[in-house]
Chain A
Amino acid sequence: MKLRNVAADFRIVSRTYFRNPVALFFSLIFPIILISLFGLIFSAAGSGSVTLIVVNDDHAPSGGYTPASVAFLSALNNTTVVSVQVVSVSPQNFSAYLGSNDDSTGLVIPSGFQNDLENRTPVVLTLYTDPEDASSAGIAEGAIQGVAAYFNLQAVCPHTTCPPVVGYTTRNVGSAVYKYIDYLIPGLIGFAILTSPMFSMVDIASSYRKDGIFRELSLTPLTRSEWLLSRILWYVALTLVTAGIMIGAGVVLFGAHVTLSLGLVPFLIIGPFFFVSLGMLAGSVAKTPESAALIGNIITFPMMFLSGTFFQVSSMPPGLQAFARILPLYYVIDGMNQVMLFSNTSRAITDLVVVLAGAVIVFLLAIRLFKWRDE
C-alpha cells in the first residue's frame, strides 16, 4: 500500500467528479432540496389557525366526554384562532407525543373537570407550548384565557366577585423531546452516505471493466486496495461536505437542534467506507452493467427507506423494525442520532463497532472478488 499511489488516484477521482455537473448537483444541491422538501412537508404549520392538540381526560361515567369539557373545547374551537384536535393519549405521555409529532401546542383537560366546575373547586388545565414557536403559543394561550374567563363568568359564577375556578399552567414542549427535523438530519445524512457511493460504485465497477479501464490500471503499479482506498477517501470527503450542508440547511431553514460533536466524525468515515466497499462488491459479482444496477438497487432501496432515513424506525410496525435491525444503514443512522440528539455515547459506540466490523468484512470481500485481470 503506497500513499503516493492513493493520492495520485484521489486527484483523478476528484477531478472527474468536479467536472461532472450531475454528480456535483447530487452531492451539493440535492441535500438542500431533500432537507427543504421533507422539512416543509412534515413541519408545515397550518396557516391561519393554530392547531391545538387536546387530551380530554374528563370522561363521562356513561362513556364519552363530559358535557362541560366538550362545551369548553367547542368554545375554544369557536374562537377560530385555534383548531382543536382531540387525541387519545395518556396525559403522562402527552409531552413526548407532541414532541415526536412536531406539534407545538397542546392542552390537557384533567379528569374531574366538570365536577370541579360544578363544585367551584379550582381546576387547572395544562397548556403545552414550544418557546421556539412563540406566536402559536401566544395565540393558544390567548384563546384559552378568553374561554376560561367566559366559563368563570357565565357558566359557573352568577356573581362578578366569584374567584376564578378554571385556571391553567403552561409547560414547555420540546425541552426534552425532538422535532421531526432533528431526526431528519441524521436520517438524510445516512441517506447520502448510502446512495452516493452505492450508485456510483456499482456503475463504476461494471463500466470500467467493460471499457477496459481496470485492465489499463492493472498494467500500472496501482493495486486494487489502493484504488478502492482512494475512492473511499473521496466519498469520506464528500460525505463530510454533504453532512455540513445538511446540518447547515436544517438549522438555518428549520431551526433544527443538533449537537455538533466530534463523535459524529467516525460515522461520516466508517459509513462511506462500508458503502463504497459494498457498491464495489455488488458491481464485482455482477456480469453486466445491467445486472450490476439491478443488484445495486435490490440492496439500496429497502435500506433507503427502512433504516430511519425519512421515518423513524420506532414509528414503524414491529416486523419492519426487526427487519431494519439487519440493515447496516440502521446502525449508521442510529449512531448519528445517539451522537447528535441523545448524547448517548455507549450506544453510539456499539453502533460504530457494528458498522466498522461490517465495513472491514465487506472491504475484504470486495478486494477478493473484484478482479481486474482474467484467469
Chain B
Amino acid sequence: MPAAIEVSGLVKRYGTLAAVDGIGFSVPPGTVFSFLGPNGAGKTTTTEILEGLRKRTAGEVAVLGLDPWTDGTELHRRIGVIPQDFRFFEKITPKEAIVYYRSLFGTSVDPMELLRRVALEDKAHSRFDTLSGGQKQKLGLALALTNDPEICFLDEPTTGLDPTARRAIWAVIRTLKREGRTVFLTTHYLEEAEMLSEHVAIIHRGKIIAAGSPAEIIREYGKPARMTVEGSPALAAYLQMNLGAAAVAEDGKVSVTLTDKGDALKVLTAIQASGLPWSSFATAQDTLEDVFVRLVGQMDEGALKSGGPP
C-alpha cells in the first residue's frame, strides 16, 4: 500500500534561514505518526507544507499521492486539519459551523451526531465566543471531520487543555485510528506521542534527529535499562566481579545496567547468592521524554561549543 504521506529532501527557507533543512519521512496509511520537536524546530512549517498552506523551497512531498501546493483544492477535500489554538466566527454556534462546512464540502453528515462524537453536543447552540478552550478545540476537531477525511492533521491539539479535555481528545484520536484514518500529530507532550503513535520523528533546528517507533527510539538513544537495589558498595563490587556487569554504588544504592531481558533474573540471583544485605529492588527505563530531552540537549550543547547559534 502506498504511503499516506511521503516526504524526501524537504527544504523551506526564509531568506537565508532554513526553517526546514532537508528532511524526509514516510507515514503508512492507517497509522498515527507523531512529529516532535522543541518550539521553533520547524514542526509547524512542515505541517503547513503538508497541508498545502505553505509553499516549499525544495524537495518532494506527496500527501495521498498529491502535491499539497498545486493540488490543494483536491487535497483539502480528503484531509482534515485541526490547527493550534482553533479560532472561528465568534457569533456562530458549533451546529451552525458544521452545517456551514457541510454545505461547503457537499457532504450529508449529521451535525448532532458529529458533535456527539467529539463530546460537544451540549454546546451545540452556544456561540463560539462563549466556549472554553477545550470546547473550541473540540469544534475544530468536529469541523475537520465534516468531510470524512483520510488523513487528520492535529497540530498540538491538547496544548493548554486540562487533563480531562486532553483525555477526551486522546479518545477521539484512538477512534480515528480505529476507523482506519491516518493521523499526523504534532505535540509537546512526549507521553502522548509514546502512548498514541506507531511512528515518531523528532525534528530539531530543521533536521530530523531521530525517527522510528517510540520503542526503537528509546532502544537506540535511551540509556540501557537499570536495576537498582538498596545495598552497600561491597555489593556493587561483588556484582562487578561475579557478573562482569556495570554496577555503581551511590547513596546506599546499587545500580546495575541491564543489557538483556534475562539480565534482571541473573542480577537478582547473584545478589541473593552474595549473602550481603539488600532490599527493595526496582527497574527503570528511559521514556521517550528522557530521550528527547537528552538528544535536544546534546545538540544544543554541541552547537554552543562549536560556536553556532544557541
Whether B105 pairs with A220 at a CB distance below 8 angstroms is yes
Given that A5-B103, A15-B91, A212-B83 are known contacts, is A219 also in contact with B96, CB under 8 Å in the complex? no
Closest to B51 in A: A219
Whether B100 pairs with A374 at a CB distance below 8 angstroms is no
| CA–CA, A16 and B96, complex, Å | 11
Given that A12-B92, A12-B96, A374-B53 are known contacts, is A220 also in contact with B87, CB under 8 Å in the complex? no
Closest to A211 in B: B87
Whether A215 pairs with B101 at a CB distance below 8 angstroms is no
Q: Is B73 part of the binding interface, using a Cβ–Cβ cutoff of 8 Å?
A: yes
A347-375 CB mask vs B (1 if < 8 Å, else 0) is 00000000000000000000000000111
Closest to A217 in B: B104
> Interface majority SS on A: helix, strand, loop or mixed?
helix
Whether B73 pairs with A221 at a CB distance below 8 angstroms is yes
A-contacting residues, B129-187, CB 8 Å: none
Q: Is B76 part of the binding interface, using a Cβ–Cβ cutoff of 8 Å?
A: yes
| CA–CA, A16 and B55, complex, Å | 32
Question: Residues of A contacting B83 with CB < 8 Å?
Answer: 212, 215-216
Question: Residues of B contacting A212 with CB < 8 Å?
Answer: 83, 85-87
A240-267 CB mask vs B (1 if < 8 Å, else 0) is 0000000000000000000000000000
* Residue of B53, B77, B88, B91 touching A20 (CB-CB under 8 A): B91
Whether A15 pairs with B96 at a CB distance below 8 angstroms is yes
Q: A292 to nearest B CB, angstroms? A: 18
B66-105 CB mask vs A (1 if < 8 Å, else 0) is 0000001100110101010111111110001000110111
Q: Is A287 part of the binding interface, using a Cβ–Cβ cutoff of 8 Å?
A: no
Size category of the binding interface on chain A: 20 to 34
Q: Is B297 part of the binding interface, using a Cβ–Cβ cutoff of 8 Å?
A: no
* 14 additional A-B residue pairs with CB within 8 Å, beyond A221-B77, A221-B105, A373-B53: A7-B103, A11-B96, A11-B100, A16-B89, A212-B83, A213-B87, A216-B83, A219-B79, A220-B104, A221-B73, A221-B76, A221-B104, A374-B53, A375-B55
Question: Residues of A contacting B96 with CB < 8 Å?
Answer: 11-12, 15
Whether B104 pairs with A222 at a CB distance below 8 angstroms is yes
Q: Taking beta carbons and an 8 Å cutoff, which residues of A are in contact with B? A: 4-5, 7-9, 11-12, 15-16, 19-20, 211-213, 215-216, 218-222, 373-375
Whether A4 pairs with B106 at a CB distance below 8 angstroms is yes
Q: Taking beta carbons and an 8 Å cutoff, which residues of B are in contact with A? A: 48, 51-55, 72-73, 76-77, 79, 81, 83, 85-92, 96, 100-101, 103-106, 127
| CA–CA, A20 and B88, complex, Å | 15
Whether B87 pairs with A219 at a CB distance below 8 angstroms is no
Question: Residues of B contacting A216 with CB < 8 Å?
Answer: 83, 86-88
Whether B100 pairs with A12 at a CB distance below 8 angstroms is yes
Given that A15-B96, A374-B55 are known contacts, is A220 also in contact with B101, CB under 8 Å in the complex? yes
| CA–CA, A215 and B100, complex, Å | 16
Whether B127 pairs with A19 at a CB distance below 8 angstroms is yes
| CA–CA, A373 and B72, complex, Å | 11
Question: Residues of A contacting B52 with CB < 8 Å?
Answer: 373
Q: B145 to nearest A CB, angstroms? A: 13
Question: Residues of B contacting A218 with CB < 8 Å?
Answer: 53, 72, 76
Q: A374 to nearest B CB, angstroms? A: 5
Given that A219-B81, A220-B101 are known contacts, is A15 also in contact with B106, CB under 8 Å in the complex? no
Question: Residues of B contacting A374 with CB < 8 Å?
Answer: 48, 53-55
Q: Can you list 5 A-B contacts (CB < 8 A)?
A: A15-B96, A212-B87, A215-B83, A218-B53, A221-B76
* Nearest 4 A/B pairs, CB to CB: A8-B103, A19-B91, A211-B87, A220-B104
Closest to A16 in B: B91
Q: B38 to nearest A CB, angstroms? A: 22
Question: Residues of A contacting B92 with CB < 8 Å?
Answer: 12, 15-16
Whether B89 pairs with A4 at a CB distance below 8 angstroms is no
Closest to A372 in B: B53
Closest to B73 in A: A221
Q: B186 to nearest A CB, angstroms? A: 16
Question: Residues of A contacting B51 with CB < 8 Å?
Answer: 219
Closest to A13 in B: B89
Closest to B81 in A: A219
Question: Residues of A contacting B105 with CB < 8 Å?
Answer: 220-221
Closest to B48 in A: A374
